[in-house]
């Protein structure tokens, strides 16, 4: 551990929001910096293979460096790139994606396309921690400490406004509320709020009804026991249990706690990028959520099988596919593929994959390779697991035709990727 400041020159971005420097040939990861910058920094963590440092002064700033728009940036752990101009953020993310896929041995197309939109006010969902004095905030960048906020420029304004109005009412809650989640549709005509507690709560229904009466902009309010896993225990609820959400020209019902893409400005173009131009007799949408892709696919395919295991999402999926050529299947993707291997049902013309951060994994990739589908579209929220999976898929049956970096999360290091594959 170094007690003295060291001079570092930043080389390239890495996934996680840091930039990489070298000190005596050892990798040093430095947050809140940009490639090409020279900084004075202090080593805060030293391990055998790498170190981490915190900047004390930027000696030679990048021409892409700008003043952050949020007063909480740096202390708050929610954003990582507000110090970079937006074009620079997009370039950094493309570089991270290309480097990650290349290291995994994935043969890339010549260009990585970009899908981006408005970089502020885009989030339709936020999750906030609550202090013992009922202040709202995010976890800190360097600790699990709660950083109280007064604004959040990346969130739809309705979300933060409602959270701040809700804060003083939490003192009267029937059980401590350490976290809450707010979700709205693009026009702000609906707002679902989920409160999380860890103990039983007497008279919770009466208290929720009182809160809803005081804050009429909340269209649905729910109290969960636990941290909001796939199948939470609901202690009480009042008002609507779902939001009406329009994306890609199709209506959706999105239940409390159901997964839905977070960027309210990119949804239409994102859906079109994943589903557009595909037609046929049969499509599979695996990890379907509430049917963001399955629903438009029903207008392009004779039959769509949409597979989802999460209870909250499956209820919406079934309703969103009602009256269409789509069938909602309550199952994990792995179990669905195993059953298909035994039953040998009709081969799909297209498979759409949108797995969680953990990606597909070896077994799922093996089963997908055995199906011989002519086309697959893989939507990923983690470059590392995408690279691992694409390596396996392209080593056996598929060729990677196109890669699009989707900036679903401006101001943060997170990115989505659409990878289009064709069977060799």
Distance between CA atoms of 55 and 77, rounded to whole angstroms? 16
pLDDT of residue 215: 97
Per DSSP bridges, beta strands 50-60 and 38-46 are antiparallel
| pLDDT of res. 229 | 58
- pLDDT tens across the length of the chain (424 residues): 456 899 999 999 999 999 999 999 999 999 999 999 999 999 999 999 999 999 999 999 999 999 999 999 999 999 999 999 999 999 999 999 999 999 999 999 999 999 999 999 999 999 999 999 999 999 999 888 999 999 999 999 999 999 999 999 998 999 999 999 999 999 899 999 999 998 888 889 999 999 999 999 999 999 998 765 556 788 999 999 999 999 999 999 999 888 899 999 999 999 999 999 999 999 999 999 999 999 999 999 999 999 999 988 999 999 999 999 999 999 999 999 999 888 877 899 999 999 999 999 999 999 999 998 999 999 999 999 999 999 999 998 899 999 999 999 999 999 999 999 999 8
Q: Which residues contact 42 (CB under 8 A, 6 or more apart)?
A: 2, 3, 4, 5, 6, 53, 54, 56
Residue 231 confidence (pLDDT): 60
381 catalytic per annotation? yes
Considering 76, 79, 381, 424, which one is annotated as catalytic? 381
Q: Are 357 and 382 in contact (CB under 8 A)?
A: yes
Residues 201/175, Cβ–Cβ less than 8 Å: yes
pLDDT at position 216 is 95
**What is the total residue count of the chain?**
424
Backbone angles phi, psi at 101, to 5 degrees: -70, -40
Residue 397 confidence (pLDDT): 84
Domains and CATH numbers, the chain: 6-65 (2.40.50.140), 98-118+264-423 (3.40.50.150), 125-244 (2.40.50.1070)
Q: What is the pLDDT of residue 381?
A: 97
> What pLDDT is attached to residue 230?
54
Residue 3's pLDDT is 63
Residues 6+ apart with CB under 8 A from 129: 136, 137, 138, 139, 146, 178, 179
Instruction: Please tell me whether residue 273 adopts helix, strand or coil conformation.
Output: helix
């Amino acid at each position: 551990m170094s007690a003295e400041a060291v001079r570092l020159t930043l080389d390239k971005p890495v996934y996680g929001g840091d930039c990489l420097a070298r000190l005596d040939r050892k990798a040093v990861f430095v947050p809140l910096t940009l490639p090409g910058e020279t900084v004075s920094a202090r080593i805060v963590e030293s391990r055998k293979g790498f170190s981490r440092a915190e900047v004390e002064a930027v000696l030679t700033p990048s021409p892409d460096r700008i003043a952050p728009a949020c007063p909480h940036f740096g202390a708050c752990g929610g954003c990582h790139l507000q110090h970079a101009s937006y074009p620079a953020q997009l370039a950094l993310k493309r570089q991270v994606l290309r480097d990650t896929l290349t290291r995994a041995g994935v043969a890339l197309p010549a260009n990585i396309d970009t899908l981006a939109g408005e970089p502020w006010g885009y989030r339709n969902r936020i999750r906030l921690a609550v202090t013992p004095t009922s202040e709202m905030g995010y976890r800190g960048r360097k600790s699990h400490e709660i950083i109280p906020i007064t604004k959040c420029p990346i969130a739809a304004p309705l979300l933060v406004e409602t959270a701040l109005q809700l804060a003083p009412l939490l003192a009267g809650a029937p059980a401590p509320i350490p976290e809450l989640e707010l979700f709205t549709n693009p026009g702000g005509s609906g707002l679902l709020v989920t409160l999380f507690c860890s103990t039983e709560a007497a008279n919770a229904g009466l208290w929720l009804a009182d809160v809803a009466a005081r804050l009429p902009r909340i269209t649905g309010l729910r109290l969960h026991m636990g941290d909001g896993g796939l199948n939470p225990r609901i202690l009480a609820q009042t008002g609507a249990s779902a939001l009406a959400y329009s994306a890609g020209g199709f209506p959706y019902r999105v239940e409390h706690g159901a997964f839905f893409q977070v960027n309210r400005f990119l949804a239409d173009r994102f859906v079109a990028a994943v589903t557009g131009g595909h037609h046929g007799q049969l499509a599979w949408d695996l990890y379907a959520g509430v049917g963001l892709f399955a629903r438009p696919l029903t207008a392009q395919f004779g039959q769509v099988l949409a597979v989802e295991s999460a209870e909250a999402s499956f209820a919406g999926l079934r309703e969103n596919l009602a009256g269409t050529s789509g069938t909602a299947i309550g199952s994990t993707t792995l179990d669905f593929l195993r059953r298909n291997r035994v039953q040998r049902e009709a081969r799909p013309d297209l498979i759409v994959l949108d797995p969680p951060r953990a990606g597909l994994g070896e077994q799922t990739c093996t089963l997908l390779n055995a199906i011989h589908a002519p086309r697959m579209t893989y939507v990923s929220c983690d470059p590392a697991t995408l690279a691992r999976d694409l390596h396996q898929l392209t080593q056996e049956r598929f060729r990677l035709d196109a890669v699009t970096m989707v900036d679903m999360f401006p101001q943060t290091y997170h990115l989505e990727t659409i990878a289009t594959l064709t069977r060799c």
